[in-house]
Amino acid sequence: MLRLSGQQAKARARVSETILKFRKGEIIYAQGDPATDWFEVVSGTVRTCHLYPDGHRQLTGFFYANDVFGIESKSYRSSAEAVSAVRLRRYGCGLGRPETPKSLGVLHNALNNAQACISLLGRRTATERVAAFLLATSGRLGGRNSIHLPMSRSDIADHLGLTIHTVSRTLSELSRRGLIALDGPQSITLCMPSALRLLAEGGEEYTSHPVQAPNCLAEPVLSYGVQP
């Protein structure tokens, strides 16, 4: 989702050649700022964060190369921050003037992103959410079984409405069951994507074979995609 075709991306590049750069952790725009522009990720990863008055944080999306973000009506409902070093292309909405029909696709993408977020938060248990997140992330990062998570446990937790402890525990549990393999905190291999899919869908009954060694025979991941 939020992925532009090469053609679209090229067309947009003509409009604005400026490449903005942000370092890890830098803020791209703040919650509440007037929503004058939207962005396309050239490289790196971006998160959008909504802060509640009590200080707690809800991440409303992660955006990778060729994704777009920052499409909002009046003011930004979430801030945007660089998860890793990031290069961006900026597009002005030109507040006053009517947007071109081109933007329709972009709006649809933003809508899909929001619905993907709802899809994660709509699941009930930690295992379901984490499994769905892993599948969605794998799908977005090209459908490979081996994925590099650019974001911290804290980011994942705030995206899924869990704590870092629960996320960490759940990942360990999935690893113990042999469904995934952890090569360091950021590098995860989906050993049994279809079993993960069962978990994500609430099929907790998958008791698996008792912790067989992480053989990981590359069961293909069906690109859990964000479009249903």
Partner DNA sequence: CGACAGGTTGAGTGAGCTCAAGTCGGGTGG
Partner DNA sequence: CCACCCGACTTGAGCTCACTCAACCTGTCG
| CB neighbour class for 213 (10 Å; exposed up to 12, middle 13-18, buried from 19) | exposed
Contact status: 120 vs DNA (CB under 7 A): no
Residue with smaller CB distance to a copy of itself, 7 or 73: 73
DSSP label at residue 220: P
Nearest residue to 172 via CA among 158, 188, 157, 160: 188
Least CB distance to a copy of itself at residue 117 (A): 5
What angle do the packed helices 164-176 and 153-160 form, to 10 degrees? 100
Least CB distance to DNA at residue 156 (A): 8
How far is residue 34's CA from residue 135's CA, in Å, rounded to a whole number?
Answer: 34
Residue with smaller CB distance to DNA, 45 or 127: 127
Contact status: 31 vs DNA (CB under 7 A): no
Q: How far is CA 198 from CA 78, 131, 154, 193, in A?
A: 32, 9, 25, 9
Decide if 216 contacts 145 (C-beta within 8 A).
Answer: yes
Single out the residue of 165, 203, 211, 227 in contact with DNA (rule: CB under 7 A).
Answer: 165
Token readout for 125 is 């248990």
Site for DNA in 94-113 (CB under 7 A): none
Single out the residue of 3, 12, 90, 169 in contact with DNA (rule: CB under 7 A).
Answer: 169
What is the per-residue binding string for DNA in 48-77, x denoting contact by CB under 7 A? Answer: ------------------------------
Contact status: 84 vs DNA (CB under 7 A): no
Judged by beta carbon distances under 5 to 8 A according to partner kind, the member of DNA, a copy of itself, none in contact with residue 182 is DNA
How far is residue 51's CA from residue 77's CA, in Å, rounded to a whole number?
Answer: 9
Chain residues binding a copy of itself by CB under 8 A are 32, 50, 52-56, 58, 60, 71-75, 77, 98-101, 103-104, 107-108, 110-112, 114-115, 117-119, 121-124, 161, 201-203, 227-228
Residue with smaller CB distance to a copy of itself, 20 or 111: 111
Strand order in the sheet with 187-190: 146-148, 187-190, 180-182
Q: Please state the φ and ψ torsions of residue 40, each to the nearest 5 degrees.
A: -125, 135
Least CB distance to DNA at residue 92 (A): 33
Residue with smaller CB distance to a copy of itself, 107 or 222: 107
Q: Which residues bind DNA (CB under 7 A)?
A: 124-127, 152-154, 161-169, 171-172, 182, 185-186
